[in-house]
Amino acid sequence: MNMIENSQSNRRSFFKTSALGALGTITVPALLGSCSQSASKEDQLKDVTVPEIFLGKAPDGKPLKAGLVGCGGRGTGAALDFLAAGNGLQITALGDAFQDKLDACRARLKEKGHDIADENCFVGFDNCQKVTDSGVDVVLLCNPPIFRPDDFDYVVEKGKHCFMEKPCATDPTGIRQILIAAKKATNQGLSVVTGTVLRSQRDVVETYRRVAGGAIGEIVSAHVALLIGAIWDRKRKPGWSDMEYLIRNWPNFYRTSGDHIVEQFVHDIDAMRWFMGEAIPVSAEAMGCKQRRVTGDIYDQFSVNYVFENGIRAHCTTRQIDGCDFRACIKVYGTKGYADARTASIHNYDGSVAWSYPRPKPEDPDQTWAVPNRFEQEQIRLVNSIRTDKPVNEAEQLAYSTLTAMMGRESAYTGKFTTWDKIMASDQNLRFEKNEFGAIPGLKEETPKAGTPPKI
C-alpha cells in the first residue's frame, strides 16, 4: 500500500471506528470522585488509551546520553527538560549552524552543572550528522523545520532515539521523507516523541480521555482558534548573507518555518485531529493575508475550513497581530455536548458545565491533580519508553498534522481549494539547493499572492 492509499485508509477509518481506537500509549486511572460523573461512567473511561503522564521522574535505568541539534531557546529548553526527566541522563553533544548560539546554550548548561567537551561541540550545516555520530543514544532535533526531514532521516538511519520538535517539515516532499523514516524507526524499535506538547499536558489528556469515552457523543464539528500577537523577529545586520538572515530569522519566512499556521498552529490542529480520532481532512478552503508584518514573508492571519469525508467540518483560525483580542480554543462538538481542550472542560448545550479538570491553585494544600510541566513530560515519556523497552513513535501523527496545516497554507496562498490527495502527492520542495552561507536567488520579503498558479 502506498502512502496516498494509506492516508485514505486512515481517513476513512475515523468514520468507521469509535474514538476508542485513537493513538495512545497507556491507560491512565480515572479521576475517581473528582467530578460530577458517576463511578460507573468513570470506570468505563479506564478502557480509553492515552499518553502516559508521570507525576514524578522517569524510572531509573541504563544511563542515556543525548545530543542537541539546534541551540536556540527551544533547543536549550529541551536539553534542560531532558536533564530534569530523571537520573542517569546527560547532554554530551551540541550542534548549531552558529557559534554564538552554541556558546550561549553551552554556558546555560554549564550553569546547571553540565559541561560539554570542546570536541563534542559542532558548528555548521552538518552539525546534526556530527552530533548523531558522537556516541549519543538520543538526539534532540530542535533546529529550524526546513532541516528536519533530512536530519530525522539521518538520526533514524543511525539507529538513534529521537525527540523531534514540531513541525516536522515545511513542504509535502519533506512530509513524505518523514513518513518513510517513521516506518524505519518503528521497524528498528526506536522511540520518537514529538513536540506536540498538548498530548503531554495532563489536563488536556484527561479531557481527551472523556471525549474518547463518549462524553460528548458522536463528533459533528470543531472550532479551533489561536489569535495571538506577533512572535519574535530579527532585523538583518550588516554582513549577514541571505542564508544567515533566513536561518537567524527563520520563524518569519515560510520557506524556513512553513508559515505560522504550520510552525505554531500545528499544536492546535494536532489536538483537533487527536480529539477527532486522528482524523484526516478531505479538503481545505482557506484565506489569509499579510497586513502588518514588518519582517519576513509570512502571513498575519489564516482562516481555514477543513472538510472531512462524511461532511463534518472544522473551522480553524489563527492570527499573529499585536494589539488585537486574544483567543485560544480547541472546541470539538458532539451530539451530546462539546469539549474544549484548551480549558480542559466539557459543556452541555444548555450552557452548564458537565465536567472540568480539577486544577488546584498553587496555594491549595492538596496538589493531587496538579498539572506537571508539559515540556518535561515529553522528555520523561521518551526516557521511560527507552528504559522500559516499550517504543513510542509519534512521527507519523506529527507528519499528518503538519500536512493538514500545509493544506490551509497552500489554499490561502493560492486562492484555490486544496485536497489531501493532491498535497500528499505534491512535488513542492522549499529546501535549499545547498546548505551553505551566501546569496539566495529570488529572496524577497513578500508572500505569494492569492490567485497565482497553485503550488500543488
Q: Which domain holds residue 129?
A: 15-32+49-198+378-394
Q: Which residues lie across from 358 on neighbouring strands? A: none
Lowest mean pLDDT among 4-18, 267-281, 329-343, 373-387: 4-18
| Residue 86 scores a pLDDT above 50 | yes
Residue 82 placed within a domain: yes
Q: Would you say residue 431 lies in a domain?
A: no
CB-neighbour burial class of residue 84 (10 A; exposed 0-12, middle 13-18, buried 19+): middle
Mean pLDDT of 66-70: 98
Q: What is the CATH number of the domain that holds 185?
A: 3.40.50.720
In which region does residue 48 sit, left (phi positive, over 0), alpha (psi from -120 to 50) or beta (all else)? beta
Give domain status of residue 357, yes or no. Answer: no
Digit-coded pLDDT (tens) for 101-116: 999 999 999 999 999 9
How far from 202 is each of 50, 54, 232, 263, 342, CA to CA, in Å?
10, 9, 28, 23, 11
Q: Is the pLDDT of residue 439 over 90?
A: no
For residues 34-49, give the mean pLDDT.
52
Residue 104 has what pLDDT?
98
Res 20 pLDDT > 60: no
pLDDT bin (cut points 50, 70, 90) of residue 26 is very low
Q: Residue 239 carries which side chain, given as an amino acid letter? A: G
Give per-residue pLDDT as tens, 296-339: 999 999 999 999 988 999 999 999 999 999 999 999 999 999 99
- 63, part of any domain: yes
Above 90 in pLDDT, residue 268? yes
Contact at 8 Å (CB) between 298 and 257? Answer: yes
Output the pLDDT for position 36. Answer: 35
* pLDDT above 80 for 442: no
* Measured distance CA(199)–CA(254) in Å, rounded: 26
Residue 71 lies in a domain: yes
**Count of domains observed in the chain:** 1
Is 157 inside any structural domain? yes
Q: Is residue 96's pLDDT more than 80?
A: yes
Is 44 part of a structural domain of the chain? Answer: no
pLDDT at residue 114, rounded to an integer: 95
User: Is residue 85 pLDDT above 80, yes or no?
Assistant: yes
Q: How buried is residue 361: exposed, middle or buried, by Cβ count under 10 Å (0-12/13-18/19+)?
A: exposed
In a domain, 192, yes or no: yes
Average pLDDT over residues 147-161: 98
d(CA 213, CA 234): 46
pLDDT for position 139: 98
Backbone angles phi, psi at 67, to 5 degrees: -120, 140
